[in-house]
Structure 1
Amino acid sequence: MFFDILNRANSTGRQVCRGRSHPKRSHTALGAVYLGDPIELLLLKPDGTHDRVVIGPALADGQHMQFPIPGDAFHTARLLGNGHWFLGGSTEWLGVIPSDVEIGDVEQLARTYPDAADMIRSIARSVV
């Protein structure tokens, strides 16, 4: 699946989502950069911790060309800094169907992940 993140008001990147657990399906995805500016990926883990990962082409600066996104983690992303656009891909093995995806409530997630609350809200505001 290809996706883009654009620095414009009608971007749909404001959603925070995760794959649902299913005993016979793997929902780990592999996110990858193809072209454009780097993005900041926020992973909200079930244990209450979070990770911030930069997906982009500058490996020497610690960016990742690819990064696994666990299916049980809520995740969202935005352009980094003054970036203008990003084209990436997400590979989900065994496929994804609509019932595999859960859209998170920004305020509920901010309460659940207080250490990441400012970033969750900031990402949500940055794309509306």
Structure 2
Amino acid sequence: MRRTRFVDDGTVTPEEIIKALDLRPLPVEGGLYKENLNGHPHASAIYYMLVAPQLSRLHKLEHVEIFSYHAGAPARMLLLHPDGTVERPVLGMDLADGQRPQVIVPAGTWQATETLGEWSLLGTFMAPPYSDDSVTFADAGPLAEAYPAAAGDISRLA
């Protein structure tokens, strides 16, 4: 049996990662995931993978969420803050180009994520833990009116 070396050297395939980490489709939001911290009363953590053209649909959470970059292509986020500001941070390791290995998404901030290549492997951590009643998915119309500078991204990511 062939053992796969999981080194981010361009030779690992998304299918190998999906199998090794036992990733499954994430309903509604999009992408693939695997819970790492199951049933913990104070926090939750997942592996999260986007394989192009998958994306994380625009949504907001009631609690802070911390994204971390693990492997693959950088991933661009769209963050629509309650005060009207718009950010487009990129998760990745090209620090000189402004990418960051970790992005913190404040509670109540609309967010979406897309890979900038073939695939991106990320992780997320939440405290308190994720629950289905803590997420709201976007309606593109009202959000585009509230954030006109991001209207194109909103219609594509909602």
For the Cα contact (< 8 Å) 2:57–2:157, is it kept in 1?
Answer: no
Q: Deviations over 1:11-45 (max 9, x none)?
A: 3x25211113xxxxxx1111001010001111001
In the alignment, structure 2 segments of 5+ residues that lack a partner are 1-45
Highest relative contact order (Cα 8 Å, sep 6+), 1 or 2? 1
Deviation at 1:79, TM superposition (A): 1.8
Q: Does 1:34 align with 2:76?
A: no
1:23 matched residue in structure 2: none
Q: Which has the larger Rg?
A: 2
Figure out how many residues of one structure are paired with residues of the other and give that number: 113
Q: Does 1:5 align with 2:39?
A: no
Secondary structure, counterpart of 1:15 in structure 2: strand
1:60 matched residue in structure 2: 96
Secondary structure, counterpart of 1:95 in structure 2: coil
1:91 matched residue in structure 2: 125
Counterpart amino acid of residue 99 in structure 1 = D
Query: 85, 105, 122: which is aligned to 1:69?
Result: 105
RMSD of the TM alignment (CA)?
1.4
In the alignment, structure 1 segments of 5+ residues that lack a partner are 21-26
1:112 matched residue in structure 2: 146
**TM-score under structure 1 normalisation?**
0.81
Secondary structure, counterpart of 2:111 in structure 1: strand
